[in-house]
Each structure stands twice: as structure tokens, then as C-alpha cells.
Amino acid sequence: MTNHHDAIVTAGVDFASQASNTATCSITWTSAEAVITELTSSCDDNFILELVSRVTKVGIDVPLGWPSPFVEALRMHAHDGSWPANYEHVTNLKDYRLRSTDNWVHETLKLPLPLSVATDRIAIPTMRAAALFARITPRPPLDGSGRVIEVYPAAALARWGFTSKGYKGTANVERRAALIEDVANATSGWLQFTAEQRATCVENDNVLDALIATLVSRAALTGLTESIPLALRDAATREGWIAIPRDGSLSMLAGPSQGS
């Protein structure tokens, strides 16, 4: 572990509904090197809060909000049983299922479609995350402008040219091992990634996603993620926003920090 005075730390959290499936990673960066200093599994809320408090930037692999039309429809329905009058199921369903950032990632950037936080089980870890970050004062901005950013490891892997599908679960150990080897080779010039750490990522795909989340948090810190389009900035503050690394950014992560 480096003790250089210029060291900063970024982290990543592969966030699940239960602590047993939640993993974290930390990387310490200096002007000369990047060192994976921590890979942890079975992380509870207090561990995550402590991690967030001591790092410069942390990428969380979970939606940080819900689609605004969906939230408004639920508010109306809870109030008096009504539903937006302009709702047409065939044409409007996507806007109620997916956030602005989800549509942008898939339709504009042509990256893997995120799960729907309104209609898929990903909503369960999102509720855990909402309760967790409500304990932080002030609450982290949902658009990623603060210490916490939302990340999507599959999209980051695809953007960086790696396999982004079929590497999770016990049945895909060989594919995961090949992916980790590819990542290690691509970062070999600047990232210290030990054989033991690689084995941990092969054994636990949650840890692997936490590692990718950590690299994305570094991309955000160094100004190497896509900017939020002006027209979507308001939605991002209410729904959350996925930080997507720019093309070719992986090789540039070891450079000096530009963001905060």
C-alpha cells in the first residue's frame, strides 16, 4: 500500500438487496501508480457508510432514483386512486419503466439496457440504497455531482471493449477468468492487480463488478465520463444518472485528477 502524500482513493460498491451479496473495492492512486488496496464481500450498511466517508469518489452499482412519470403516477394513485390522464399503455409504458439515463445509455450510446427500477427486482436494492444515503447529511446528489456516482459495470465494460455479458454466476467461471485476464492485461502498465486479487474476482462476480465500479469512479474523478446532456440535467437530479466512461478512457485513468 502506497503512503505517497498525493494519494487519493476511489471505491466501488456492487450493491445488492442483502449484505451477503454486496461487495466493495478500493484503489489508491498516486501520480506514479494505482494499487488495489481492498476487496471486500458481505458488506453491510455501516461498512458502506464508513467507506463513503473516507474516499474521494465512490461508484455505486444500483439505480439511485425512479422514473419521474412513475413516481408522479404512484403519488396520484396513493392520493385518490387516479392515474395520469395522458397515459397510453402501449406508447407510454417505457417512460414509466425507464429513467432518462436508462434510455440515454441504451438509445444514444448503444450500450446494454439497464434494468427497470420501476418494474424489475433491482428496485429492492434501490430501496436499500435510498434508506442508506438518507443517513448522510447532506444527502449525496442523485446526478453524481457529489462524492457518490451511479455506475453500470456492464455498460462500462462494453464501452472499454470487454465482454459485458455472460460472466456472472458459478456456471461462468471460465468466462469470468478470461474477462479478468483481459482487464489485467489492459491495465498492466499502471494498476497493481495481484494474482490473489484476480482469484478473488474469479470466485466472486460481485467483487469483480465492484472493481469495475471503482475504475468508473476514477473516470468520473478525472473528467473522463460522458457529460449529462443539458436537456436531461433536471431529470438527472431527480432520477439519478449513470456515469459512463468515455471511449478510450481506461488507458487514461492513471493521469492527474481533474474533477472532485
- Residue-wise DSSP of 182-242: HHHHHTTTTEE--HHHHHHHHH-HHHHHHHHHHHHHHHHHTT-BPPPPGGGHHHHHHH--B
Could you say which residues of the chain have pLDDT below 70?
1-6, 255-260
- Does some domain include residue 103? no
Domain hosting 219: range is 8-63+126-252
C-alpha span between 206 and 228 (Å, rounded): 27
Query: According to the model, what pLDDT value does residue 260 have?
Result: 40
For residue 177, give the H/E element and its range: helix 173-186
- What are 131's three cell numbers? 434508506
**107 in any annotated domain:** no
pLDDT at 1: 42
Structural domain tally of the chain?
Answer: 1
- 106 lies in a domain? no
pLDDT, position 33: 85
225 - beta bridge partners? Answer: 245
Q: What angle (nearest 5°) sits at the alpha carbon of residue 95, between those of residues 89 and 101?
A: 165
Query: Cell for 158?
Result: 462494453
Q: Is residue 98 part of a domain?
A: no
pLDDT at 169: 94
- Cα-atom radius of gyration of the chain, to the nearest Å? 18
Between helices 68-80 and 89-97, what is the axis angle to 10°?
110
What is the predicted pLDDT for the residue at 6? 65
CATH number, domain of 186, equals: 3.30.420
